[in-house]
Chains A and B, each alone.
Chain A
């Protein structure tokens, strides 16, 4: 069964430190992966998607098929990066995104 695992419920780093939010997936076939973010008092929104190979707000994510991972990275964390981050994989039927449980990132000054 398709599944997304985010092993850390909470990740706390200091401003300027590197950050890596882990995501492992289980999917048969060629996966399409996404990171969604929810800032305090805001709605869930797309941060980046594997298919676009983009960098948004300094974040990047590389698909590693051998390790079935799609970790989110940023070299220098900022306080405004504090938010809830969800990794998701396209589940194979229209509209079906399978989300992980999320990791709360806290960036301390």
Chain B
């Protein structure tokens, strides 16, 4: 069983640039959620994708967008990067997307630094 994998592990960008982060879900999982974890904080929900459609969104501006592909892998895109976007970005997959009943399986994250 393959776990959740994220790439890249680290990334440095400058303010105003755009970034794409990638996530491969665990085998058999069709739902991917993205979380932002700032230093010293808990993870904060960005959005979730289920069967290639956005299925829930947290309090993040439209410059945070995503995609899910037919193989259930996913991308997180952030446009017009700001210094406050510096954080660990976590991807989590689950079998049905129902957080009340399903375990979320997290990846190791992508550490984004915006200079």
Contacts and interface: CB of A to CB of B under 8 A. Distances in A.
Contact of B104 (A4, A46, A98, A102): A46
B42 A4 contact: yes
Interface residues of A, number: 22
A44 to B, nearest CB: 4
Contact of B42 (A51, A95, A99): A99
B55 A95 contact: yes
Contact of A95 (B44, B48, B107): B48
Interface string A18-51: 0000000000000010000000000111100101
**Top-7 shortest CB links A-B:** A95-B48, A99-B42, A94-B56, A93-B56, A95-B33, A44-B106, A32-B100
Given A51-B100, A94-B48, 4 more contacts: A88-B42, A94-B55, A94-B98, A95-B31
